[in-house]
Amino acid sequence: MAKFNGALTGIEAKIEYHAVFEELGALYESWKRSAVNWMQTEKLSESEVEKRLMKKFNIQWAYADSIATEARTCLNQLKTAKNNYITKLEFQLSAKTAAAKKLIIKLEKTLKLATKKCFPHIQARNKFCHQYRIRRTQLFQWRKAVEGILTHDLWAEHQLSQQVHIETGK
């Protein structure tokens, strides 16, 4: 795009907005999602996806090639993001588990000491025991949720695709 005395010149200045561009963009994204789905579920290669796109959607080779290339790139990004996300979850799990274990040990020591010395009144003891049970329950629930995420690859892939979708703004 060239500027001439502050004015746009060239082909970009002559293209006017038309609603068909939005419809074509939506179709292109739909075709790309189909291609990613085929690559993911049926383990098709780029060339096989190109052929299927041309046959199913009746599009030219250049469009099919572009869509297949973008689909392969997107799938590779999702795989990388999945691995990074799992690593992040494992790190968070180990950090939270260590922190919870320290807290539980501290609470157990305090409870033993308090039992020896006797609480000044029953209400304080009940509050302390209630907080201890809540912390232990929360740790257990959090650990089960994270283990569930790590074992359910499809759910994790869905969350990753949503996260990538949000981060890229597309």
Question: What per-residue confidence (pLDDT) applies to 3?
Answer: 45
d(CA 82, CA 78): 6
Q: Are 135 and 107 in contact (CB under 8 A)?
A: yes
Question: What per-residue confidence (pLDDT) applies to 108?
Answer: 79
Question: What per-residue confidence (pLDDT) applies to 146?
Answer: 67
Chain mean position to CA 80:
11
The whole model's pTM is what?
0.50
The type of residue at 89 is L
Q: Are 89 and 149 in contact (CB under 8 A)?
A: yes
Mean pLDDT by 10 residues, the chain (170 residues): 52 69 85 91 91 91 91 91 89 88 82 64 65 73 67 56 54
Question: What per-residue confidence (pLDDT) applies to 35?
Answer: 92
Contacts of 18 (CB under 8 A, 6+ apart): none
The CA–CA distances, whole Å, from 112 to 10, 19, 100, 128, 130 equal: 81, 73, 18, 12, 15
Residue 71: count other Cβ atoms within 10 Å of its Cβ: 25
Closest Cα partner for 74 from 123, 143, 66? 66
